[in-house]
Structures are given as C-alpha cells and as structure tokens.
Structure 1
Amino acid sequence: MEWKNIYRGLLMGISDLIPGVSGGTIAFILGIYDRFLESLSKFFSKEWKQQLPFLVPLGIGIGIALLGFSRVIDFLLTKYETPTMYFFLGLIIGVIPFIAKQAKVKTDFTFGHFIVLTIVAILLAFTAFIVPDTSVITKLTVGKAVFLFFAGWLASMAMLLPGISGSFILLLLGAYHTATNALSTFNIPIIIVVGLGVALGFIVSSKAITYILHHHRVLTFSVILGLIVGSVFVIYPGLPESGTPLVMSIVAFVTGLIVANIFNEVGEMEEQKEAL
C-alpha cells in the first residue's frame, strides 16, 4: 500500500469541498494526476487488483476529508462567507502559474489555444449570473433522488478535471448545500444517492478524460486554464464592507495565496522525485 497517498487524498478531499478548487487540480500539482486517471480507468477492468495499493490509501484520505471537514466548510460558508470565498480566490489564483508552467503555455500554446482559453473563461464567467438554489434537501422523493444522482454524476466528472471542481458544479445545480449538509449530518440516504452518481461518473469519464489528455493535451490544457480563470469571476463575492470584514477578507485572500504556493512547492518536489 502506498500509504503516503493518505495525505494526498486528504488534500484532494478538502479541495473537492471548495467551490472553484478541484481535486484534480491538487492531484495535478502533487504529480499524481496521470496515474490517478490511469488507476481509476484500470480499476474497472481485469487489472483492478493492481490498482488497490494506489487507490485505497487515496480513497481513505479523501473519505476522511469529506467527513471531517464538510462541517467546517459548511460553518465557514454560513458564518464567514465573504472571507471564506476570498480564501478560495487566493487558492485558485495562486495555482494558475503552476498549471500554466505544466501546460508549457509559453512554448506550446498558439494563438488558437489562447482563443479557446478566453472563450471558455467567458462562458464560465457568465454562469455567475445564475442564482443557485440554496435550499437543503433532507428527505428524498423519487424526483429529488434522480436529481441528486445526476448532480453527483456531473460533479464527479468535474472532480477529475483540473480547473473546475465538483463542488462548483453542485453549487450551479443547487445541490451543494444539500451535499455538504448531508455529509455534516450523516444523512445516509442522500450520501448514498449522490455517491452512486459520483461512482458512475468516475467510471464513464475517467477513460474519456485519459484519452483526451493523451491525444489533445495542449488543447485540453487551454480548456483547463480557461475553466480556472472563469471560476475566479464566478466565485468572486464582491467587495467586502470596510472595517473588520475587509481586513478578514484581505487576510483570507493572502492566506489562500500562501497555501497555493505551498501546494506548488510540494508539486515541484514531487516532480523532482519522479525525475530521479
């Protein structure tokens, strides 16, 4: 078992609770993204046993993060929404230089790739005008179960892509508060329904994303960077009030940048290890 994957899973799980920050982005920064996709893809094949040493510790870390930090994130978004969103903004903006470096923007991007990046960013930014449903589903009906299942499916596809988070998709669909509430209160029926959707999404999308990255890597990175840039506009909460809210938001934003820089340094260390 690759037990160091527990801490990687913790980081990925925490990031998947944050609208705008993707577990795929964290996996990419930590240098395990390609292997993560490959292991997921092969897990649903005859080679599934060989993937367990990598995936089991990673899954343990993600599970601990989802169950242990969902209540914290829910509390922060309820009581300190603006500073919390500024922390997320710092995280997102802070990882852009690392992703751009890995994508080899300076050498591999053409004018067409920048056009794609811009279009994707603009399209995603326009979703900021969508007012998400913040109501919380606590009891299931058939219709609500179908909705949450497909919400989990779409969210899992986003989780696998660096640049857009599953939480962000849930937020757009109006299922984010339901999902975080279910995790923090251990609402088992809702967790199962959303979880089944997530699992099916992983099965369907892991192979597709692996294929696209291998055959259209530069174009895919232009889309990924567009998603990251666009998500900045989507989660931007507006200017905070002067006084304590403003100070808290500035501190939170700088903290997010610092945390992103730490992630970037860890990612560079992982790259150096892989090169040895």
Structure 2
Amino acid sequence: MADGLPDSASPLTPPAAKAGGFSLPYVVACGLAMGSADVVPGVSGGSMAFILGIYGELLEAIAGFDLGLLALLRRGAWQAAAARIHLGFLVPLVAGLAVAVLVMVRPITWLYAEHPVFLFAFFFGLILGAILLIARHAHWGVQGLVAMALGVALALLLVTQAPVTMPHDPFTLFWSGAVAIMAMILPGISGSFLLLVLGQYQYVMEGVKGLDLSILLPFAAGCAVGLISFVRLLRWLLHRFHGQVVALLVGFMAGSLWKIWPFRTVLESTRNAKGKLVVLRDALAAPPDAGSLVVALLLAAAGILLVVGIEQLQHRVGVEEMGG
C-alpha cells in the first residue's frame, strides 16, 4: 500500500480497478442475501454486501448519482451514464433485493415472531465469521485499534437506544430518512432499527402502505441526500485510510452483535396500533436450558461455515475478497 491508498488485492478496492468483476448470477444472489437480511430487524443489508465482497462496487455505483450523471443525461450520453452508475451491477442487485423482500418477508418475519433464537443464532454466527475473516484486511496498529474501538462504541450506542417520541413534520422526516439510510449502508447497523429509535418507523411504514406523498416525499428526499453525500465521504475515507476504515467497519459489525445475541429478556414493551407487542428495551440473557444452547451453537456454527463457504465461492467466481 502506497500513499495511503489500497493496493489492487485489498478488499473494498474500487471497481475501476476490477471492471466486470462479478457475474450476473452472483450479483442477483447478493441482492437476494441483502434483501433477506434487511427483512430481519437489527440485521443490516450492508453487512451482507460487506461479507459477499460487493461493498466497494456498491459504494462506487451509488456515488455515480451526482451532477456529472445529470450532465451526461442532458447530453444523451446514455451509455456513459449507465457506466457511471454501474447499471449492469445495480439492476440485478436491486432486482434480487426486491424479490428477496417480497418472497422472504413472510418466512423470516414468522421465524422472528415464533423462533427468534434460531434466526438470530444463525445471523450471530454469520456476522461473527465475517468479522474474523474480514479483520485480516484491517490495519491493526494503534490507529486501527482506536478505529475498531470507536466502531464498537458507536454501534453499541445506536443499538441500545430506546425509541423516542419525535414529531412527524417534513423536516424531521427528511433528516430521519438521511440518518436511517446512512446507517443502512454501514455494515452492522440496521436502518429500520434507527427509524424505530427515532419514533418514525410505524409512521413511515403506514405512509408506504397508503402511498402518502406528504410522508414519502420528504423521507425519500432525506434518503437520497443522506445516501449520496455519505457514500461519497465513505468512499473517500476508504481510499485515503483503507486499513483504518476496514477496522472501523469491523468494529461496527462487532458492536452489532449485541443486538443479535439470540437470548434476550424484555425490560420494557408496548402495543402498537394493531395490538402487536413492540419491545422498547431489552437486555442480554443466558440460555434458558442446555438444549437451547446446543441448538443456538449449531446454528451459529452453520452461519460461520456459510461465511467460509462464501469466501471459497468468491475465489471461484473471481471476487477478490469479502469486503468488496
């Protein structure tokens, strides 16, 4: 690594250095995995992008939505515009993500409601395995250790917050959308969980169901501004401080393990408008019995093995390393 820039074999290398690095089936599969993860409260689709090795390409594609893109569209330079936003990558990724949300929302929400220990034990192993493998590419000097500690602290601060009561005016919806989407792109942090913390989740979901533009327009504008601006900052940081940023992201993922520890005890809860139980505050708990512990360990081990299998698959399909 020279001048603080990542070398060509590092994870999170920009796609300009590896054009055409992903096959269509692999990108669709990544979208399916990200969509399935986003359905699970507390689990980030960004984590799956990081694990699957497409994180850098995803950042580059999103960063392409800028004034330069508008200039190309005004000139009718459609091919250059498509290349700028990596359209051949984004379309199958978004298609896979959308299909996963539509298809997996029922079985995953059923597991979340009926067998949360099984679901979260598997994802706990998945994230833990990813941390162990991706950590090989972080900078582990003093700066890297400080960055990881900061990532852990920030993640814990976010995932342990109880929901607050906030107004639903357009300005609040705008910055809530910006904050949620910035969190969503970070591995380990769930954007939907942050909306819940900000007291906007149910209100925004009702707006989506009813196609209420007075809710959706300011929220979508906040998402667009937050995503484009934050991605550009994150991309610059990855170029300039690659190893330290990987350490920071590893810290985010490690801190998120608190939220997906499978055994929990509810400290405070309420009922929403439909009578469903909503957990406001919870805490870690010990396994209730030996059988539950064994099942959780087996599912966590399955998650770790899946990450190892993903790494082997990446070598076969030409993806450099998980982390993208």
Q: Same fold (TM over 0.5)?
A: yes
Alpha-carbon distance in structure 2 between the residues aligned to 1:177 and 1:260: 33
Alpha-carbon distance in structure 2 between the residues aligned to 1:235 and 1:177: 21
Paired residue for 1:37, among 59, 69, 88? 59
Q: Which residue of structure 1 aligns with residue 126 of structure 2?
A: 91
Q: Deviations over 1:19-74 (max 9, x none)?
A: 45433333233332222211211133234322322211111111112222223332
Paired residues, number: 262
Runs of 4+ in 1 over 6 A off after TM superposition: none
Instruction: Please report how far the alpha carbon of residue 203 of structure 1 lies from its aligned counterpart in structure 2 after TM superposition.
Output: 2.3
| 2:105 counterpart of 1:70 | yes
Higher helix proportion (structure 1 or 2) = 1
- Structure 2 unaligned regions, length at least 5: 1-19, 73-79, 265-284
Q: Which residue of structure 1 aligns with residue 313 of structure 2?
A: 266
Q: Which residue of structure 2 aligns with residue 9 of structure 1?
A: 31
Alpha-carbon distance in structure 2 between the residues aligned to 1:64 and 1:200: 25
**Secondary structure at 1:241's aligned position in 2?**
coil
Q: Which residue of structure 2 aligns with residue 228 of structure 1?
A: 253
Instruction: Please report how far the alpha carbon of residue 93 of structure 1 lies from its aligned counterpart in structure 2 after TM superposition.
Output: 0.6
| 2:150 counterpart of 1:119 | yes
Q: Which amino acid aligns with 1:122?
A: A
Alpha carbons 2:53, 2:320 under 8 Å: kept: no
Alpha-carbon distance in structure 2 between the residues aligned to 1:178 and 1:195: 14
Q: Which amino acid aligns with 1:70?
A: V
Matches within 5 A, 1:238-249: 238-242=285-289, 245-249=292-296
**Secondary structure at 2:162's aligned position in 1?**
coil
Instruction: Please report how far the alpha carbon of residue 248 of structure 1 lies from its aligned counterpart in structure 2 after TM superposition.
Output: 4.0
Q: Which residue of structure 1 aligns with residue 92 of structure 2?
A: 57
Taking only aligned residues, the RMSD between alpha carbons, in angstroms, comes to 3.5
Q: 1:269 to 1:196 in 2, by over 3 A?
A: farther
Q: Which residue of structure 2 aligns with residue 22 of structure 1?
A: 44
Larger radius of gyration: 2
Q: 1:59 to 1:123 in 2, by over 3 A?
A: closer
Instruction: Please report how far the alpha carbon of residue 231 of structure 1 lies from its aligned counterpart in structure 2 after TM superposition.
Output: 1.1
| 2:81 counterpart of 1:48 | yes
Percent identity over paired residues: 31
Q: 1:248 to 1:12 in 2, by over 3 A?
A: same
Paired residue for 2:229, among 197, 200, 204? 204
Alpha-carbon distance in structure 1 between the residues aligned to 2:106 and 2:171: 25
Alpha-carbon distance in structure 1 between the residues aligned to 2:192 and 2:308: 22
Instruction: Please report how far the alpha carbon of residue 252 of structure 1 lies from its aligned counterpart in structure 2 after TM superposition.
Output: 3.0
Alpha carbons 1:20, 1:164 under 8 Å: kept: yes
Q: Which residue of structure 1 aligns with residue 267 of structure 2?
A: none
Alpha carbons 1:30, 1:270 under 8 Å: kept: no
**Secondary structure at 2:258's aligned position in 1?**
helix
**Secondary structure at 1:43's aligned position in 2?**
coil
Alpha-carbon distance in structure 2 between the residues aligned to 1:150 and 1:254: 39
Alpha carbons 1:29, 1:267 under 8 Å: kept: no
Alpha-carbon distance in structure 2 between the residues aligned to 1:77 and 1:145: 32
Q: Which amino acid aligns with 1:252?
A: L
| 2:149 counterpart of 1:102 | no
Alpha-carbon distance in structure 1 between the residues aligned to 2:221 and 2:155: 27
Alpha-carbon distance in structure 2 between the residues aligned to 1:13 and 1:84: 15
Q: 1:23 to 1:215 in 2, by over 3 A?
A: same
Alpha-carbon distance in structure 2 between the residues aligned to 1:160 and 1:256: 22
Q: Which amino acid aligns with 1:92?
A: I
**Secondary structure at 1:234's aligned position in 2?**
coil
Alpha carbons 1:83, 1:252 under 8 Å: kept: yes
Alpha carbons 2:174, 2:222 under 8 Å: kept: yes
Q: 1:14 to 1:118 in 2, by over 3 A?
A: same
Instruction: Please report how far the alpha carbon of residue 128 of structure 1 lies from its aligned counterpart in structure 2 after TM superposition.
Output: 5.1
Q: Which residue of structure 1 aligns with residue 277 of structure 2?
A: none
Q: Which residue of structure 2 aligns with residue 157 of structure 1?
A: 182
Q: 1:20 to 1:217 in 2, by over 3 A?
A: farther
